[in-house]
Amino acid sequence: MYAQILEERRQSIGTGGDVGRTRSIRCETASVSGAVSQRACVYCGARVVLNPITDAFHLVHGPIGCASYTWDIRGSLSSGSELYRNSFSTDLQERDVIFGGAEKLARAIDEAVERYRPPLIFVYCTCIVGVIGDDVDAVCRSAEARHGVRVIPVKAPGFSGSKSTGYRLACEALMKLLEGHEWDGEREGVNILGDYNLAGEMWIIVGYMRRLGIPVAATFTGDASFERLLRAPRARLNVVQCAGSMMYLANLMEETFGIPWVKASFFGLEDTSTALRQVADLVGDDEIRRRAREFTEERSRETAKLVGPYHGRLAGKRAAIFVGGGFKAISLVRQFREMGMETVLVGTQTGKADEYEVLGRLVGPDTVILDDANPAELERFLVERGADILVGGVKERPLAYKLGIAFCDHNHERKHALAGYEGVENFTREVASSILSPVWRHARG
Amino acid sequence: MGSMVNCNVNPCKMCMPMGTVTAFLGIAGCMNILHGSQGCSTYIRRHMATHYNEPVDVASSSLTEEGTVFGGEANLVKGLDNLIRQYDPSVVAVSTTCLAETIGENVPDMLARYRESRPECRTRIVQVSSAGYAGTQFEGWFRAVHALVAQVPMDGTPHDGINVVTGPISCADTRALKDLLAGAGLRFTLVPDISDTLDGRHAPEYSRLPRGGTGIEDISRMAGARGTLELSTFVDDSWSPGRLLQERHGVPLLRCPMPVGLRDADAFLKAIEGLGGTVGTRVRDDRGRFLDAMIDAHKYSALGRAAIFGEPDFAYGMTRLCCENGIVPMVVATGSHCPSLEKLLGEETRELAETMQLPPCRFLPFADFDAIENAVVETGANLLIGSSDGRRIAAKHALPLVRCAFPVHDHMGGQRVRILGFEGGTAMLDRLANALISRRDAQFRKTARDLHFRPLVEEEEMERPMAAGDARTGDGVDVARRNARRTLTHPCFTESSCRTAARIHLPVAPACNISCNYCVRSFDCVNESRPGVTSKVLSPREALERYLQVKARMPNLTVAGIAGPGDALANFKATRETLRLVREADPDVTFCLSTNGLLLPLHAQELCQLDVSHVTVTVNAVDPAIGARIYREVDYMGVRHEGEQGAAILMANQLAGIAMLVRAGVVCKVNVVMVKGVNDGHVEDIVRRVRGLGATIANIMQMIPVSGSVFEGMPLVSNKELTVLRKRCEGIMPQMHHCQHCRADAVGLLGEDRSAILFGGAASKPGPIVEKSEAQGPRKARRIAVASRSGVVVDQHFGFADQFYIYESDGSDTRLLEARHIGKGPGGCGMCGQGGGRGDGAKGLDAGKIAKALAAVSDCEAVLAMRIGESPRRQLADRGIAVFATCDDIDRAVREAATACNG
């Protein structure tokens, strides 16, 4: 027996047959109470975007839980400092809640500066900080003056919106960082926005740019450091990969520094090649453009040869996608198509209306499209549509397995790159190794 | 708490709702809802998903801004409605979060109104107050069980069953416990029971509500049980379900520790028998087998120095298991406020530690992983026991971690960990012993080889006569062989020789051709030589004179080196002349030279002709981008190059130069100055690269943030970080661990610098050699301050000194007058005290500390310190206080200093 779909949720569930044609998906709203949303919170959104800044001191001002659960939250890799991989918290106690935590915060910052000398400190305020009345702005301002390092508050109480709100806060914090670093000189190269260097993906992208002859000024925020971020205003173009988290920053940077942006996806053969050619067109000369064409053709050919043997075995299998943002979902649908697979369910935690419209056009008429899905809905549609694999985050994995469905982790914790040509290879192998595993034969008995 | 007082660094605990949710998941048909922000439930689900590999559905009232301001009742009501509609649970458990508690939500009243408005609702609702800041998951667990017992309507009809309450234990342990109780013929209600709910089976049909768990009807009959067995040492009485049943319903309470290890498992069985159970032969056999396993493993167990961390009951049980097996607990830590841990375990851990001649165990209540790591490093623990959160420490210090507590994020089987009872104890002991065996087996070959074989070869090499016609400029092979032999008596290249072989640095090279950001020119090169530098730059002639003087007094002088104070090759004329003169006078002495390598390709061949057998090149980067952050400027062939260009030229020459030297048979050491946040992540690449070129040994050193240098505000690399990095690089090539950061005019054994004594310290003018004759001068008793932490050797930097040992000595007799405590030494940078008086806040050294140190020694005639900055050195000199930089034994150093003063 499937659970009944909650009345308030019906607006957020549609199919390829109607979304973008006769109706739209309700999205970008608060989660329904008691629905068991898969979403995290505002703080989490801000933290995941900023956390990959490797030499920043990320300090959670609040009770311990939030820091515990986000310790080393992304598998972001660093070529330099490892400071970001620690979990720092003011660990507010009952007494602090009663008497206020501002003083403790100020002292914690002093200790951090003395011990780690970070060039940059982010102070994340979680749920209760505003409620108990800590003037965090004042604490940060005075710490900045006292120590001569940037201390940027990120006021992210969980109740103040959704994960997307947190992305915005992170973007604002990044802008605050760039303030006063306008660049009047010659502009050169690009910034990469919205890649978090999971399993080295940012390095892969930067490597491509180097092959093409396009310098990368700054990366947001995979393998970023304070100093490298400050080079961002020198770029000619912002290449925005994870649109959900970074479009806001791209817009702000366009307003402030006059840097135009382009969206790009590095997931899938086609998307990667398109992205590289577009960037070359936008900032490159004829030579760079020629190189881009040559490079993408060569790599596409090679990669297709490597993954080809799997395609025969995967063709006709049915995929379900439930990921964080819409842009990635779109990329995945296209990637499955390249593999000869059909997407029968696609949903996101924080997708936007226009993205759902694109999805509606991309998928077949019976494909389920849903925003902010919960386990009961996922269970129902996975089984109903006969999905062979679910692509999602760690929380969704046990459900897929219990339902006897293969799984691919497309979230923070993966250990191999899924971006670029290398990623196509890894992705194909991972999908194949799960769908084609002999265990299912026994489980289905 | 860690070394930061107001900041938890890497938490060893989770929040209270994590505990309530887990405990409620052990109740049949129960769904959790958290009253608070959306994130809390998602975090907890994610955290549990990787440990249990089970779907864990936890709802949230998803409080919004509006709910936070005007009260969240509407959210909670809607949340309950939706949750019940979707899952049809028999019980809903409402836990509050930090937010709900802080805005003052009155959940009991809300629930009363909810029930009233929905008379048709069959779902039982329980609630618990669980602000995240009021305790950890451990306290949350008991609060949840307490809430159940308090809120479920009780049926007091007496029956012959018993109640069993546990703290947080694994699913597999819960199953084993149930088997044991059933095997003893007891009827029992175990609460909570996560054995099935969090370790489910694969079945054709999926059930949103997990199977299993303690039934609510069973809980209601707990009031009529014959007794309650509560398996916890640290449950607080105010949240103890057993205490509540006793006080409210008169059910006798028997509390015993979680049955971990032989003694506590025995106590548990005794309790069961006391409650009318019979312990069968199967269990007795298991006990015998556990004992057998303990004996079989005991010598491996004896290798163990354990650090145990986790919830209080876990830490307690595991510590006792370790103790009874002879695994010595060095560190016992918990994230909870739990001062009684030490009270309960102090004696038995002390007894074992004393037996094994080890220091007493350290107890860390309210600990974070920063504190645990420090304790692990300081006590030399070699085995970590706890959750997978210890994996970072394990990886960093190459220690085994036995994952046996929640959460296990990175391995399989968290839900199936077995530690309870005899079988669980046996399984656990096997894992512990195997971890120790693996560790020993991985190391013993190398240890034995280094300890016993290397000396054999070295001795043999020493005894072999020099081949006839062993020309100084022979072909590479011969030269290499001769140089390798010289290596054995070179204290910097062969640690074992640094007690016997002495060296002299001849300060003939003042100029430098690169600008490093860690260097202040006025003080010469910080890392090639030492801050404080040389007393005087010598001409080649003077250098020869000094060499001969010293050689006459030190027959064990085997090495003459040129280490600046600038760059040996940037002053090549003087360097060449010095080497030529010394070689003429002494055909046997080993020539050593240190350089930044910029001019190495130019002079490599001539160095070989001059019979230089050992060269140290300081290479701080092999990537121009990183190099550009370290080198400000490179002056090559009269042209100044900045940024990456300069760095690229420098490193190309360094690497080419090393390759040339190695080909010619010269032994190359590579120094790497580790600058935190700049090249610390790059050091391994450097080491790998120079290893590929044939360098022999690497010497990774801390960058000293000298005031006035570009890097004055950079963080200081801790000794721990340095050790860790060296250890990691050890796998690539041999590492120098005994570097003393010698002065450019150092003389004597490594770590026993006598230049101050022989030639006068900075306090006195450079002058002729002072004769160390006792006959000279009156033997007056001198008062001497010694910067030392250990009290055995001079081991502290003047500016860092916590205390001074004040001695009186006439040169033959010494007497300690007092240990003068001056408070904590300055932290961070500016360790040399230069610019100490600049008072520029966070940067530079706290002038007050230096002033305190100066004041503390004001009545003395001399100061002995491991190192001292230029400014305090000058200030001391102004006050007529002589300064001796040394790291000798205190006693000898004091006598020598007194003699020098009297001289």
Quick one: pLDDT at residue B473? 44
Choice between B609 and A141, residue whose per-residue pLDDT is larger: A141
Domain count, chain A: 3
CB proximity B777 to A under 8 Å: no
| Residues A63 and A130 reside in one and the same domain | yes
Quick one: pLDDT at residue B524? 41
| Residues A174 and A203 reside in one and the same domain | no
Q: Establish if A406 belongs to a structural domain.
A: yes
| Residues A235 and A265 reside in one and the same domain | yes
| Residues A271 and A366 reside in one and the same domain | no
Signed CA dihedral, A196, A201, A202, A205: sign only:
negative
* Per-residue pLDDT tens over the stretch A381-423: 999 999 999 999 999 999 999 999 999 998 888 889 999 999 9
Structure confidence at residue B768 as a pLDDT band (50, 70, 90): very low
Distance CA B388, CA B385 (A): 9
End-of-domain residue from the set A178, A198, A215: A178
Angstrom CA distances, B514 to A213, B566, B642, B741, stand at 31, 10, 10, 20
Choice between A370 and B725, residue whose per-residue pLDDT is larger: A370
Distance CA B161, CA B9 (A): 46
CB-CB: which of B82, B97, B676 is closest to A33?
B82
End-of-domain residue from the set A151, A178, A205: A178
Quick one: pLDDT at residue B791? 66
Phi/psi at B33 (5° precision)? -135, 135
Calculate the CA A136 to chain-centre distance.
27
| Average of per-residue pLDDT across A332-359 | 93
Q: Establish if A104 belongs to a structural domain.
A: yes
Return the residue matching tokens 């190794």: A433
Q: Do A86 and B78 touch (CB under 8 A)?
A: no
The C-alpha torsion from A435 through A437 and A438 to A443, rounded to 10°, is: -60
For residue B629, pLDDT beyond 80: yes
CB proximity B523 to A under 8 Å: no
Distance CA B6, CA B370 (A): 13
Among B13, B42, B61, B105, most A C-beta atoms within 10 A, so best to mutate, is B42
| Average of per-residue pLDDT across A161-172 | 94
- Domain containing A67 equals 42-178
| Average of per-residue pLDDT across A83-103 | 95
Residues of A in contact with B202 (CB under 8 A): 401-402, 404, 443
Quick one: pLDDT at residue A400? 97
| Residues A19 and A96 reside in one and the same domain | no
Residue of A nearest to B78 (CA): A33
CB-CB: which of A39, A117, A131 is closest to B828?
A117
Find out whether A67 and B389 touch, Cβ atoms under 8 Å.
no
Quick one: pLDDT at residue B80? 98
Distance CA B457, CA B455 (A): 5
* Per-residue pLDDT tens over the stretch B516-566: 888 765 444 433 434 334 446 778 888 888 888 878 777 778 888 888 778
Choice between B363 and B493, residue whose per-residue pLDDT is larger: B363
Helix (H) or strand (E) holding B575: helix B572-585
Residue A421: count other Cβ atoms within 10 Å of its Cβ. 26
Structure confidence at residue B830 as a pLDDT band (50, 70, 90): very low
What would you report as the CA-atom Rg of chain A, rounded to the nearest whole angstrom? 22
Q: Establish if A80 belongs to a structural domain.
A: yes
Choice between A304 and B805, residue whose per-residue pLDDT is larger: A304
Q: Do B842 and A85 touch (CB under 8 A)?
A: no
Residues of B in contact with A148 (CB under 8 A): 841-843
| Residues A12 and A46 reside in one and the same domain | no
Q: Do B841 and A41 touch (CB under 8 A)?
A: no
| Average of per-residue pLDDT across B477-489 | 72
| Average of per-residue pLDDT across B204-230 | 96
The ipTM estimated for the assembled molecules is: 0.94
For residue A215, pLDDT beyond 90: yes
Return the residue matching tokens 């990959």: A52
Q: Establish if A321 belongs to a structural domain.
A: yes
| Residues A321 and A421 reside in one and the same domain | yes
Q: Do A89 and B11 touch (CB under 8 A)?
A: yes
CB proximity B131 to A under 8 Å: yes
Q: Do B49 and A69 touch (CB under 8 A)?
A: no
SS3 B384: strand
| Residues A253 and A337 reside in one and the same domain | no
| Residues A47 and A173 reside in one and the same domain | yes
Choice between A117 and B723, residue whose per-residue pLDDT is larger: A117
Signed CA dihedral, B838, B844, B849, B852: sign only:
negative
| Average of per-residue pLDDT across A194-211 | 95
Q: Do A111 and B7 touch (CB under 8 A)?
A: yes
Q: Establish if A35 belongs to a structural domain.
A: no
End-of-domain residue from the set A225, A258, A293: A293
Q: Establish if A302 belongs to a structural domain.
A: no
Q: Which residues of B721-759 are buried (b: 16+ CB within 10 A; e: fewer)?
A: bbeebbebbeebbbbbeebbbbbbbbbbbbbbbbbbbbb
Q: Establish if A267 belongs to a structural domain.
A: yes
Residue of B nearest to A72 (CA): B10
Structure confidence at residue A445 as a pLDDT band (50, 70, 90): low
Q: How many helices (H) and strands (E) does chain B have?
A: 30, 29
What would you report as the CA-atom Rg of chain B, rounded to the nearest whole angstrom? 35
Q: Establish if A34 belongs to a structural domain.
A: no
Structure confidence at residue B745 as a pLDDT band (50, 70, 90): low
Inter-chain Cβ pairs, chain A and chain B, closer than 8 A: 268
State the CATH number of the domain containing residue A238. Answer: 3.40.50.1980
Q: How many CA atoms lie within 13 A of A280 on its CB side?
A: 23
| Residues A81 and A165 reside in one and the same domain | yes
Q: Do A32 and B80 touch (CB under 8 A)?
A: no
| Residues A88 and A152 reside in one and the same domain | yes
B 132-171 residues with CB below 8 A of A?
132-134, 136
Q: Is the pTM for the entire model greater than 0.80?
A: no
User: Which are the contacts of B60, defined by CB distance < 8 A and separation ≥ 6?
Assistant: A31, A33, A34, A36, A37, B33, B34, B36, B37, B38, B40, B41, B42, B79
Share of chain B above pLDDT 90, in %: 49
If phi > 0 it is left, if psi is from -120 to 50 it is alpha, else beta; for residue B57 that is beta
Distance CA B199, CA B191 (A): 16
Quick one: pLDDT at residue B775? 42
Among B133, B725, B843, most A C-beta atoms within 10 A, so best to mutate, is B133
| Residues A150 and A269 reside in one and the same domain | no
For residue A444, pLDDT beyond 80: no
How close does chain A come to B63, measured CA to CA in Å?
6
